[in-house]
Structure 1
Amino acid sequence: MNQKIYSLLALVLLLSVTLQAQIEKVEPPFWWQDMQHNQVEIMMYGKDIANLEVVSEKATITGITKTENPNYVFVTLDTKGLNAGTYPIQLKKKRKIVDTYNFELKTREEGSRFRKSYDSSDMMYLLMPDRFANGNSSNDSSDLVTEKANREDANGRHGGDIEGIIQHLDYLEKLGATAVWSTPLCEDNDEAYSYHGYAQSDVYKIDPRYGSNADYKRLADELHKRDMKLVMDYVTNHWGLEHWMIQDLPTYEWIHQFPGYAQTNYRMSTQMDPNAAESDFKYCMDGWFVKSMPDLNQSNPLVLNYLIQNAIWWIEYAGLDGYRVDTYSYNDKEGIAKWTKAITDEYPNFNIVGEVWLHDQAQIAYWQKDSKISAIQSYNTHLPSVMDFTLHDAISSVFYVENPSWDKGMIQVYENFVNDFLYPDVNNLLVFAENHDTDRFNQRFQNVADYKLAMTLIATVRGIPQLYYGSEIGMAGDKSKGDGDIRQDFPGGWNGDDNNAFTASGRTAEQAEYFDFTSKLFTWRKSAEVIHTGKTTQYLPWDDVYVFFRYNETETVMVVVNNSKDARTFDLNRFKENLQNFTKATDVISGKTINVAADKMTIEGKSSFVLELKK
């Protein structure tokens, strides 16, 4: 009788250990063969999982890391030379198998390592998925996440999703877009404001209100069928408070603690200031962006490797063509440089643009790969592309100027390009008139004429043009009313919308004028190699008329932008070094032929020419 009791107690104890040691999460959930990153650090999570022995009979475990939190164990698996297949990882207690995870190595797609990324031949279309189009109303709300759909709330969930993007790819293609940058789609389980996606709660999972991981991969596939590209908005600096790992930190040092919360000072200039106080430097880099977004500690090797692997996993899984990295210059400087280099080592042609929101070209250039400025401090970000915020600053103010002066008017645009010598790669700058965080251009300048001037610049200067969703139909929004107002729903993206601007027949006359201009300009740009990689010569503006040339060995384009309300007539002889023996030109927008062999040229007020020169 006693023996039976002892046996029963032993069985209960074994079952108890088994239940306690149940594997709840494994990240990354799988990997691929033939990767440069072949030492895969697998995070395994479960109640008291660190108390168990970890073994693998089919693969070599080269490292096991445990922290003060017994619910985590980090297992490094050597995948070098392994074929695609399943490699069981066993958890044991006194030689008994408590749990097993079958870690899969998948077959890598042919050519994956050397995939082509976005570049200066592209036009990138930035959209906020929750506000673009609702293709599947059944996922507007989900029991898996807290916030439910409420289209009446400007800051709430409206129901836009991945299916809505897929259904309107023909529209984007006709517009002239060749790459789509969507704000984050991973799960954001905040109680409110979760639509923007920057407070992520699970970085291996698409938010169910947008769809599934498979839907995201399908979006990439559908884009690729159209020779278009998908750019993921990646957040390395912070997660949301609701992230499951923040709720049960793997280690105290997983996030920056002071202890607990401390606000960043937002002074990114401290990151390159040789005279900066150490405390100011630290609070910029380590302080939390906002109280609801804990700041990740990229100087911790576990955190850094987790972020590297997650980024590689999404590229390989979904077939991504590039990254935009949020708040790039708020990260740990050395850590983010290692993260960036790891991605580009794995994918040598992969482009990554970092959000470096500064207002000085030297400070922005500091963050681009191989910058001679950051080299002074023996620092290299390895970041291929940065955002041209100083050009944005100029475009945001220049069209207000009615009486140009020494430093006001089109000279502000000219002066932006004077400093191009600071950048290691001027063709790899993202140029834009607005984005999801700035004032809406069409709110600041409420007329199509100024919009056309801004788009002429964005489409023809060096770099990669980026268009914010809805600008092409005249969408506006007042940032002083809150971010929700500059992130309004695209008309026609929801069943029952009175106005459907996705279709030519559904657009108002005003929307059509915006769209038709944008479509013609950027469709032309797709094949305009001289714009993609040509050199630039610019001339000092005169009477607020700005003239510059883009040229290569076989083509020359003359761009004329008249910011004055009045027509201007100017002397063409001034531009002889670029006009050379050209006699006529075709205006890309109007199709008209213009005589450039004449002495004078006249351009109407608030208008532009994009002239393909011919002999």
Structure 2
Amino acid sequence: MKKIIFMLLFAFSAQAQNIRVEPASWWVGMKNRNLQILLHAKGIGSSKVEISYPGIELKQVHKAESPNYLFLDIEIKPEAAAGKVPIALKNPDHIAYLDLQERSSKAGEGFDGADVIYLITPDRFANGDPSNDNTSDTKEKANRKHYNGRHGGDLKGISAQLDYIRNMGFTTLWCMPLLENNLEEVTYHGYSITDYYRIDPRFGSNEEFKGIVQKSKEKGLKWIMDMVPNHCGIDHWWMKDLPFEDWINNKGKFTPSNHRREVHQDIHVSQKDLEAMKGGWFVPTMPDLNQRNPFMAKYLTQNTIWWIEYAGLAGLRVDTWPYSEKAFLQQWTKDILDEYPSLHMVGEEMTLKASTIAYWQQGKVNPDGYKSYIPGMMDFPFQGALVQALTEKEDFHTGWARLYSAMADDYLYPAPDKLVIFADNHDMNRFFTQIGEDKELFKMGLAVVATMRGIPQVYYGTEIGMSNPDSEEHGVLRADMPGGWKGDKVNAFTGENLDPLQKELQDFTRRLFNWRKGSKAVHAGKMIHFVPQQGVYTYMRFTATEKVWVILNKNKEEVEIPFQEYTEITEGNSTFSDALDGSIWKEKVKIPSMSFRILVAKGE
């Protein structure tokens, strides 16, 4: 008899395992009580559904066009308790479960100008567990010799370097996507997702991700997750069995986007061009998700909330922002912020036009009436202006004038302090390459990133002057961090065998961003800047109790700045100290050639 019961239980369990449930877990006590569950298994579309669990009400069952899906609308009432919620399906008989949990994470704390983001390409940062470089359930195998191959970096590698990251002065981690990318090739970057609820096993597990976020919090570090709501990978599990014909734009067939992002603001735009932008695929391996399908929209929203709650995230970076549906972005962002009001998120709009970036920021009053809810954006206009300011000859319209003009455009933004500023990122040449591998320009550039309004972001390896002079291939500029692999002769984490220049740049970066941690004026102060004069650009960040004066000198000779020339900001302060070298300056200050000073007002 016991044997018969065991066999029946085994068969019952096997049926449960054959059903894909997304999300498979949720939480009691969420502000939004409603949840939509996707079920996928052969032939379950004709099943009748019963849920018998205190505090759980099955509101509606939706059939899909495919006979292998059901979408369940349920309400999780306040009296519901944590536990396994059985979802019984009849004719054919199946059983599935929703794991209902207590809310325990302190998710959605946000990040702001007091933070410095460290951007990592996880496959290229550090390999802490070589045993997961290849797994039985992923197609592409490791090949560190190829710039587009998988090199083996993982969560354990990042975890081992959390002290390094913290000691460099960084406070927040942003990794390129960590979710499963199970394609045949070029999967290291993470943007071809094939399972939205699973960390790629070559990086680790869901539990490992949750663990490293918690470990980071204990060390004073926050986590931002890179979300990709616009597209999935061509080998995503649902591509073999779409629930609806319109689940993927253009009926699941590759039709290229025109990549004309300004169509969203263009008052003369044709519908043909608008549809080609938002409905076209980014590339052939990235099917474009149809966010106009209400089930897709709900799926993406819940998935984002799931990761925030599950891992305890502080914020989000949102990939390819203008490629998505405007109405979807509006509701998606609002729903997330309704659940997590303190969460900060920034969108990627890769343009040098401040007006286009500003259009998307929360609080912007747009001529077309579009109301966006995303608090911040990536400040590409700043990045472009910074590189031009550093590399161009000084003239009325060039050199420092580029940065001055970019900052003068801040009137366009509802909240310029919520933008993320950076010298480079994972989609462009390394900063050191862009400035001709000039160490003085490097230092001036990072000084600006550290002291300008906004939230600074530094790309991994920038601190040691990583460069890509011989190739602009993404796989090259996303090269391995020295010391992240056993046997590396150069180790950026310990300093072993770094050359003198690498050490100098790393020491400078560490000193700069650790000083920044204590400056309230730089974190959230107001700003006054002055029209560049004769190769000198200067600005001040200040609060009622602190003044930080930044002076940048691109001349080939030293310049002397009398305080009286800037009485608008120096009045009441006759003495300033250099934040980095400690030198004291009274009534005037000398700025070395091709250099800068960050001056802090001394109490009078």
Aligned ranges 1:224-303 → 2 under 5 Å: 224-257=217-250, 260-303=253-296
Bigger Cα displacement from structure 2, 581-590 vs 432-441: 581-590
SS in 1 for 2:81: coil
Query: Is 1:54 aligned to residue 49 of structure 2?
Result: yes
The aligned residue for residue 99 of structure 1 is 94
The aligned residue for residue 86 of structure 1 is 84
Task: Output one character per residue of 1:518-550: Cα deviation in whole Å (capped at 9) or x when no partner.
Answer: 111111111211111100000011111101000
The aligned residue for residue 532 of structure 1 is 523
Q: CA deviation at 1:277?
A: 0.8
The aligned residue for residue 532 of structure 2 is 541
The aligned residue for residue 312 of structure 1 is 305
Q: Tell me, yes or no, if the aligned pair for 1:472 and 1:514 is still in contact at 8 Å.
A: yes
The aligned residue for residue 496 of structure 1 is 487
Q: CA deviation at 1:570?
A: 3.8
Alpha-carbon distance in structure 1 between the residues aligned to 2:20 and 2:177: 22
Query: Is 1:123 aligned to residue 116 of structure 2?
Result: yes
The aligned residue for residue 359 of structure 2 is 366
Aligned ranges 1:208-219 → 2 under 5 Å: 208-219=201-212
The aligned residue for residue 548 of structure 2 is 557
Q: CA deviation at 1:427?
A: 1.1
Q: Tell me, yes or no, if the aligned pair for 1:20 and 1:48 is still in contact at 8 Å.
A: no
The aligned residue for residue 613 of structure 1 is 601
Q: Aligned match of 1:573 in 552, 564, 568?
A: 564
Aligned ranges 1:326-341 → 2 under 5 Å: 326-341=319-334
Q: Tell me, yes or no, if the aligned pair for 2:15 and 2:95 is still in contact at 8 Å.
A: no
The aligned residue for residue 4 of structure 1 is none
SS in 2 for 1:390: helix
Given the superposition, is the C-alpha separation of residues 342 and 258 from structure 1 closer, same or farther in structure 2, using an over 3 Å criterion?
Answer: same
Q: CA deviation at 1:37?
A: 2.4
Alpha-carbon distance in structure 1 between the residues aligned to 2:14 and 2:129: 38
Alpha-carbon distance in structure 2 between the residues aligned to 1:205 and 1:22: 16
Superposition CA RMSD, Å: 1.8
Query: Is 1:74 aligned to residue 64 of structure 2?
Result: no
The aligned residue for residue 9 of structure 1 is none
Alpha-carbon distance in structure 2 between the residues aligned to 1:337 and 1:244: 27
Alpha-carbon distance in structure 1 between the residues aligned to 2:315 and 2:247: 27
The aligned residue for residue 476 of structure 1 is 467
Q: CA deviation at 1:260?
A: 2.0
SS in 1 for 2:282: coil
The aligned residue for residue 34 of structure 1 is 29
Q: Tell me, yes or no, if the aligned pair for 1:586 and 1:592 is still in contact at 8 Å.
A: yes
Task: Output one character per residue of 1:107-134: Cα deviation in whole Å (capped at 9) or x when no partner.
Answer: 001654xx42111110000010000000
Given the superposition, is the C-alpha separation of residues 18 and 575 from structure 1 closer, same or farther in structure 2, using an over 3 Å criterion?
Answer: closer
Q: CA deviation at 1:553?
A: 0.5
Alpha-carbon distance in structure 1 between the residues aligned to 2:252 and 2:137: 31
Task: Output one character per residue of 1:311-331: Cα deviation in whole Å (capped at 9) or x when no partner.
Answer: 011111111111000001110
Q: Tell me, yes or no, if the aligned pair for 1:90 and 1:101 is still in contact at 8 Å.
A: yes
The aligned residue for residue 145 of structure 2 is 152
Q: Tell me, yes or no, if the aligned pair for 1:134 and 1:159 is still in contact at 8 Å.
A: yes
Q: Tell me, yes or no, if the aligned pair for 1:340 and 1:383 is still in contact at 8 Å.
A: yes
Task: Output one character per residue of 1:33-69: Cα deviation in whole Å (capped at 9) or x when no partner.
Answer: 0112221101010001111111112231001111110
Q: CA deviation at 1:343?
A: 0.6
Q: Tell me, yes or no, if the aligned pair for 1:126 and 1:468 is still in contact at 8 Å.
A: yes
SS in 2 for 1:194: coil
Alpha-carbon distance in structure 2 between the residues aligned to 1:258 and 1:213: 32
SS in 2 for 1:520: helix
What residue identity is the alignment partner of 1:345? D
Alpha-carbon distance in structure 2 between the residues aligned to 1:455 and 1:309: 38
SS in 1 for 2:104: coil
SS in 2 for 1:252: coil
Task: Output one character per residue of 1:322-381: Cα deviation in whole Å (capped at 9) or x when no partner.
Answer: 100000111000011111111110000001110011221111100101112x2x212112
Q: CA deviation at 1:251?
A: 0.7
Q: CA deviation at 1:577?
A: 1.1
Task: Output one character per residue of 1:234-274: Cα deviation in whole Å (capped at 9) or x when no partner.
Answer: 00000000100122111111111167221111111101111
Aligned ranges 1:168-187 → 2 under 5 Å: 168-187=161-180
The aligned residue for residue 10 of structure 1 is none
Alpha-carbon distance in structure 1 between the residues aligned to 2:552 and 2:471: 30
Query: Is 1:429 aligned to residue 427 of structure 2?
Result: no
The aligned residue for residue 401 of structure 1 is 392
SS in 2 for 1:399: helix
What residue identity is the alignment partner of 1:537? I
Alpha-carbon distance in structure 2 between the residues aligned to 1:590 and 1:318: 40
SS in 1 for 2:249: coil
Alpha-carbon distance in structure 2 between the residues aligned to 1:490 and 1:468: 11
Q: Tell me, yes or no, if the aligned pair for 2:105 and 2:311 is still in contact at 8 Å.
A: no
Given the superposition, is the C-alpha separation of residues 207 and 479 from structure 1 closer, same or farther in structure 2, using an over 3 Å criterion?
Answer: farther
Alpha-carbon distance in structure 1 between the residues aligned to 2:383 and 2:520: 24
Alpha-carbon distance in structure 1 between the residues aligned to 2:48 and 2:477: 53
Alpha-carbon distance in structure 1 between the residues aligned to 2:322 and 2:103: 32
SS in 2 for 1:310: helix
Q: Tell me, yes or no, if the aligned pair for 2:19 and 2:96 is still in contact at 8 Å.
A: no
Q: CA deviation at 1:574?
A: 2.1
Given the superposition, is the C-alpha separation of residues 224 and 21 from structure 1 closer, same or farther in structure 2, using an over 3 Å criterion?
Answer: closer
Alpha-carbon distance in structure 2 between the residues aligned to 1:562 and 1:401: 13
What residue identity is the alignment partner of 1:611? L
What residue identity is the alignment partner of 2:453? R
Task: Output one character per residue of 1:6-34: Cα deviation in whole Å (capped at 9) or x when no partner.
Answer: xxxxxxxxx99999997431000110001
Alpha-carbon distance in structure 2 between the residues aligned to 1:272 and 1:406: 30
Q: CA deviation at 1:419?
A: 1.1
Q: Tell me, yes or no, if the aligned pair for 1:52 and 1:92 is still in contact at 8 Å.
A: yes
Alpha-carbon distance in structure 1 between the residues aligned to 2:349 and 2:567: 38
Q: CA deviation at 1:474?
A: 0.9
Query: Is 1:603 aligned to residue 564 of structure 2?
Result: no
Alpha-carbon distance in structure 1 between the residues aligned to 2:17 and 2:540: 66
Q: Tell me, yes or no, if the aligned pair for 1:21 and 1:49 is still in contact at 8 Å.
A: no
The aligned residue for residue 418 of structure 1 is 408
The aligned residue for residue 12 of structure 1 is none
Q: Tell me, yes or no, if the aligned pair for 1:439 and 1:479 is still in contact at 8 Å.
A: no
Q: Tell me, yes or no, if the aligned pair for 1:323 and 1:351 is still in contact at 8 Å.
A: yes
Q: Tell me, yes or no, if the aligned pair for 1:559 and 1:609 is still in contact at 8 Å.
A: yes
Given the superposition, is the C-alpha separation of residues 362 and 150 from structure 1 closer, same or farther in structure 2, using an over 3 Å criterion?
Answer: same
User: What TM-score results when the alignment is normalised by the length of structure 1?
Assistant: 0.93
Aligned ranges 1:438-453 → 2 under 5 Å: 438-445=428-435, 446-453=437-444
The aligned residue for residue 457 of structure 1 is 448
Q: Tell me, yes or no, if the aligned pair for 1:478 and 1:486 is still in contact at 8 Å.
A: no
User: What TM-score results when the alignment is normalised by the length of structure 2?
Assistant: 0.95
Q: CA deviation at 1:507?
A: 2.9
Q: Tell me, yes or no, if the aligned pair for 1:241 and 1:247 is still in contact at 8 Å.
A: no
Q: Tell me, yes or no, if the aligned pair for 1:298 and 1:335 is still in contact at 8 Å.
A: yes
SS in 2 for 1:299: coil
Q: CA deviation at 1:168?
A: 0.2
Q: Tell me, yes or no, if the aligned pair for 1:264 and 1:285 is still in contact at 8 Å.
A: yes
The aligned residue for residue 5 of structure 2 is none
SS in 2 for 1:357: coil
Alpha-carbon distance in structure 2 between the residues aligned to 1:506 and 1:479: 23
Alpha-carbon distance in structure 1 between the residues aligned to 2:248 and 2:191: 16
SS in 1 for 2:450: helix
The aligned residue for residue 3 of structure 2 is none
Alpha-carbon distance in structure 1 between the residues aligned to 2:207 and 2:17: 26
Given the superposition, is the C-alpha separation of residues 16 and 287 from structure 1 closer, same or farther in structure 2, using an over 3 Å criterion?
Answer: same
Instruction: Structure 2: state its 5+ residue gaps.
Output: 1-9
Alpha-carbon distance in structure 2 between the residues aligned to 1:383 and 1:84: 32
